[in-house]
Amino acid sequence: MSAVDRRRRRFLQCLVLACVGIAGLGTDAAQAAAKHLEFGPARTFSFDGLIQTARDNAAKPYREPPRPGAEVVARIDYDEHGQIRYLPELALDANGPGAYPVTFFHLGKWFQQPMHAYVVDQGKAREIRYRRDYFSMPKDNPARHMPDDAGFAGFRLHESRLRDDWRTQDWVAFLGASYFRTIGAQGQYGLSARGIALDTAVAGPEEFPMFREFYLEPAASTDAPMRIYALLDGPGITGAYRFDLHRETGVVMEVDCRLFLRRDVMRLGIAPLTSMFWFGEHGRGRELDWRPEIHDSDGLAIWNGAGERIWRPLRNPPYPTAAAFVDFNPRGFGLMQRDRNFDNYLDGVLYDRRPSLWIEPLGDWGEGSVQLVELPTDDEIHDNMVAMWVPAGAAKKGAEYSFRYRMHWLADEPYPTPNLAQVVSTRSGRGGEPGTIRKPGIVRYVVEFAGGELPGLAKTAKLDAVVTSSTGQDKILLARAEPVPTTERWRVQFDLAVNPGEAVDLRLFLRQGERALSETWLFQHLTAAN
């Protein structure tokens, strides 16, 4: 992971996911490596008990948790935080019995809220107590003045301890509020997930509840899941989570969460996903950077309760926008990175290998909407995309929620529809035909499809481009489907007439006769006011 990539997240300013080795750390590290983890006394633990704790907490006023060594933590800046290394020899389960060793992140200026970690064995939990000498650091680093039992900033799971490279290879990280991420199927971190999203892009401030406590139940083998329990707490909400993590081709997580509201919430986001989109084949920012595309994800995919497959390309809007896709018992949704061609990025931070993340609801989720929030950005260091499920109805103080879902951190969707073509690019530009007078207010859209039945079609096949506009069909001036030369793709081109300041919702799919040949492309065209 490059230095640029480690700086990419505003909410993860000091992420040091590649910094696990102790080579060259000197005698200080060698002495610390001879020590052992220290644990607190055993106490009874169960998921039902954690749920009850969250329910009890919701009935009490919120109290900011203690922050031992807060003055010290505030002095550990970006550079000094990057100097701190957890010693892999002191990883939980470095020598077993669990399959996946666990190491911890140190607190710092950008991660000031401590979490406390516990190891669970046979219904008993013991806290892993923070000690300064779990970490190697320069002698002048402020962290040397941290008190004992200060807690950690987060933790990560390493690859199987049976692998020779486990000390330098991790696959899951929990760090910052309720954020977590995995390396997916191609060994590269990218987008993040959260336990919950509260009041994202509403009139008031967004709240970021935090996982205060983690309970780690080691996997008996690499064939078994690593189980993690988490206690969520914040001014507006409490909750209890159970994660079953499976290390497969990618990473699959099964999540069971119980939520309890302390206050009214304007937008309650379940299974929220957070990603970055600066520009792709289209969008603002293309003229500012030498690379052809810069994004962690390029679209929102939805498989709705009616069985329709939807693709909504991401965009970098000129102002904050929110879109809601109303549904009942959705089958799945996710932020996807479909473009896997390195030549479209030309960057060593490996955007072509960023994971896609698909949310698979388990059980009935009822009425609600998949919502997409897009925020403007002028750089790749900001996560400006949020996708989430928002239940129907008001989220009122005292309300309780229960959700189960499966998270697929993969390269592609886990349940594709082989007979439907997918959108592979969205482009836009000046409308009209070359050699003619280009009228103002005419925009050309070009959408390409690949896969499904398209490779078997003759180039002379008759396909219909079914395009609709929220401003009326008379605004669609041209629409045609045609094969893309030298490829097995098909392309739809259409011109759209727009007025200044107008927002136009667009819908498109390919049809042959009465059969849909593609997923549905949805987009919202935004125009600036005069």
User: Does 453 share its domain with 403?
Assistant: no
CATH number at residue 94: 2.70.98.10
User: Does 461 share its domain with 401?
Assistant: no
- Name the band, by pLDDT with cuts 50, 70 and 90, for residue 10: very low
410, 437, 469 - which closes a domain: 410
Average pLDDT, the chain: 92
358, 383, 410 - which closes a domain: 410
- Percent of the chain at pLDDT exceeding 70: 93
Distance of CA 395 to the CA centre of its chain: 23
pLDDT single digits (tens) 322-361 = 999 999 999 999 999 999 999 999 999 999 999 999 999 9
Identify whether 83 is part of a domain.
yes
Identify whether 416 is part of a domain.
no
> Cis ω on the peptide bond leading into residue 66 (within 30° of 0)?
no
Amino acid at 439: K
Identify whether 415 is part of a domain.
no
User: Does 392 share its domain with 437?
Assistant: no
pLDDT single digits (tens) 35-91 = 689 999 999 999 999 999 999 999 999 999 999 999 999 999 999 999 999 999 999
Quote the pLDDT of residue 507. 97
Identify whether 303 is part of a domain.
yes
Neighbour-count burial for 14-50, b at 16+ CB within 10 Å, e otherwise: bbbbebbebeebeebbeebbeeeeeeeeeeebeeeeb
d(CA 225, CA 414): 19
User: Does 157 share its domain with 259?
Assistant: yes
Quote the pLDDT of residue 282. 85
More confident residue, 24 or 335: 335
User: Does 174 share its domain with 112?
Assistant: yes
pLDDT single digits (tens) 183-198 = 999 999 999 999 999 9
Is the predicted pLDDT of residue 1 greater than 50, yes or no?
A: no
User: What is the value of pTM for the model shown?
Assistant: 0.92
Domain tally, the chain: 2
- Name the band, by pLDDT with cuts 50, 70 and 90, for residue 18: very low
Identify whether 168 is part of a domain.
yes
pLDDT single digits (tens) 107-147 = 999 999 999 999 999 999 999 999 999 999 999 999 999 99
User: Does 392 share its domain with 441?
Assistant: no
CATH number at residue 488: 2.60.40.10
410, 432, 455 - which closes a domain: 410
User: Does 384 share its domain with 464?
Assistant: no
Percentages of the chain per state (helix, strand, coil), in multiples of 5: 10, 40, 45
pLDDT single digits (tens) 384-442 = 999 999 999 999 999 999 999 999 999 999 999 999 999 999 999 999 888 888 888 99
Average pLDDT over residues 146-168: 96
pLDDT single digits (tens) 442-479 = 999 999 999 999 999 999 999 999 999 999 998 999 89
Range of the domain at 441: 422-526
